[in-house]
Amino acid sequence: MSNSPFLPLTKRQFVKGIAAATAMASTGLFSNVSWAKADPEELTGTEFHINIGTIPVNFTGKDRIGTVANGTIPGPVLKFKEGDDITIYVTNNLNEMTTIHWHGIILDYRMDGVPGISFPGIEPGETFVHRFTAVQNGTYWYHAHTLHEQTGVYGALVIEPKEAFENERVDRDYTVVLSDWTDEDPVDVFLNLKKMGSYYNYQQQTVGDFMDDVTLMGLGKAISSRKMWQKGRMGRADFSDVSAATYTYLMNGKSPTGNWTGIAKAGEKVRLRFICAGTASFFDIRIPGLKLTVVSTDGQRVVHVDVDEFRFGPGETYDVIVEIPDDKAYTIFAQSIDRSGYARGTLSPRAGMEAKVPALDKLVLLDPIDMMGDMSRMSGDLAMGGMAMGGMQKSGLHKKPNHARTEYGPSVDMRVDFPRLNLDDPGPGLRNNGRRVLTLADLKSPFTLADDRMPTREIELHLTGNMERFIWSMDGLKLNEAKPVHFPLGERIRVILHNDTTMIHPMHLHGMWSDLESPDGGFQVRKHTIAVQPAQRISMLVTVDAEGHWAFHCHLLYHMAAGMFREVVVA
């Protein structure tokens, strides 16, 4: 599998590589995978050795080659303690450059593992030594910052706190890594999307759906409903770029029939550390029959909240605690956001037990608010170039959105002038589903910020794209077209993310924390990856305390490759 368009040795080559690739124009059968080892190891200590190589795999009945860390998918769980000085030797046994990025870890930018930004990458046969002090605790993960992420290079990081949290003591503790596997070469997946953005979307509305709508609402309303979406060249089923048409969804490296199992007995409390290693997949997680107590997100503790279900996307982590009431089996169900497939596992008192696997939820189409934002103050005619939408942040620094910096042209097919600002929406497909679904408004950090300065400046970035041409950008510019964003060292700044598209973008800022603000300007929760919903505008505060060159990008791998990426320079 050649990753050449995405494997640069310098920043210039990195930019050229993505530009070149951008310019180029149902897995129903599961099988258990064949590994060099049965399950990922758990490695503890302060010094680790990671060897990146290849192994034969078979998830679908077809033999393929995976790229792996230490011989397994996922790679080994690395476990160490807060305050430890960590050394990790990464050896590249491939015939092409590769990397590992330590996602969410606060470290020197030269240890961050982003080729062309923080270092050249690891050449074949070379070993790169990553050194950092664990200044945090919680659940994190690592992954290749190349297309090797799609083919298997990822794994869990667990950093134990200096002192245990009394209200989080458990009997068992498991990492649960969700991911997506394709038998196709990832470059081919990207090129297929460039040919047609809906290449893998088999759930688009049909003539039959139109006739059903005519019957339900009449011809005029049925036509009007579609006209709005067609003007924006958007589809109401545009949830995911890549679906189960090519993906097999994995839980801890097991296909649905592989059925990863964690032992859990009556009366026990179990901590599940969910990690979304999907390259293009959001997952909706629930365990029918059990409440999920959310205790952490992105490695950061939160005020405990009980829910039935939560959604998370590439890059995010959530820790939940469940209490097992009896010696029965319980299904961990992770359905893809587009309802095209699922991953699943089991909690049970002994191996071999299974519980009923829920049917996939019926696909619920995107709502008008996912295209137009806050409709409560709609006035005048709808126009794709400037829709009148209401809703303003209450905090003093949130002014009317300014579009002066965004380049609108053939690479941008939509804009939202007045987006929605609420954080209490579970998101498209989860609204009013009869279950208690987690929202960003439910997440509250239990600590006060050490840096409570008012921001000295604002930096606004629009998340932009063209679905049909599969161009993704920020402010209408792809990475190779844009200048770096400058964060002045030592300042406290506000970063505003304004989503002009109908897709959810998990935005990941490397090297510094993202302190999400509530709609009234208060501190909500600390994260390293924030999923910005369609037609939504969110703001976060950043303490600029990490000198160097950092990546800031959408964590949907193919969106990043297509251009939704910025270099951040801190000086």
Cβ atoms of 95 and 55 within 8 Å: the answer is: no
How confident is the model over 162-166, as a mean pLDDT? 90
Rg of the chain over Cα atoms, rounded to whole angstroms, equals 22
> Letter for the amino acid at 433?
N
Name the pTM for this structure.
0.88
Q: State the pLDDT at residue 401.
A: 41
Q: State the pLDDT at residue 224.
A: 61
Closest Cα to residue 497, out of 512, 485, 487, 507? 507
Mean pLDDT of the chain: 87
Q: State the pLDDT at residue 297.
A: 98
Q: How many CA atoms lie within 13 A of 187 on its CB side?
A: 13
Q: State the pLDDT at residue 540.
A: 98
Q: State the pLDDT at residue 227.
A: 57
How confident is the model over 128-156, as a mean pLDDT? 98
Name the band, by pLDDT with cuts 50, 70 and 90, for residue 299: very high
- Highest mean pLDDT of the ranges 8-17, 289-298, 361-370: 289-298
Q: State the pLDDT at residue 371.
A: 77
pLDDT of 225 higher than 90 = no
CA distances from 7 to 1, 143, 557 (A): 12, 15, 13
Percent of the chain at pLDDT > 90 equals 75
Q: State the pLDDT at residue 20.
A: 36
Q: State the pLDDT at residue 223.
A: 56
Q: How many CA atoms lie within 13 A of 81 on its CB side?
A: 6
Name the band, by pLDDT with cuts 50, 70 and 90, for residue 468: confident
Cβ atoms of 475 and 405 within 8 Å: the answer is: yes
Looking at 19-33, 185-199, 543-557, which range is the least confident one? 19-33
End-to-end Cα distance, the chain: 38
How confident is the model over 51-60, as a mean pLDDT? 96
pLDDT of 7 higher than 80 = no
**Structural tokens at position 290:** 């059990």
Residue with tokens 């593992």: 113
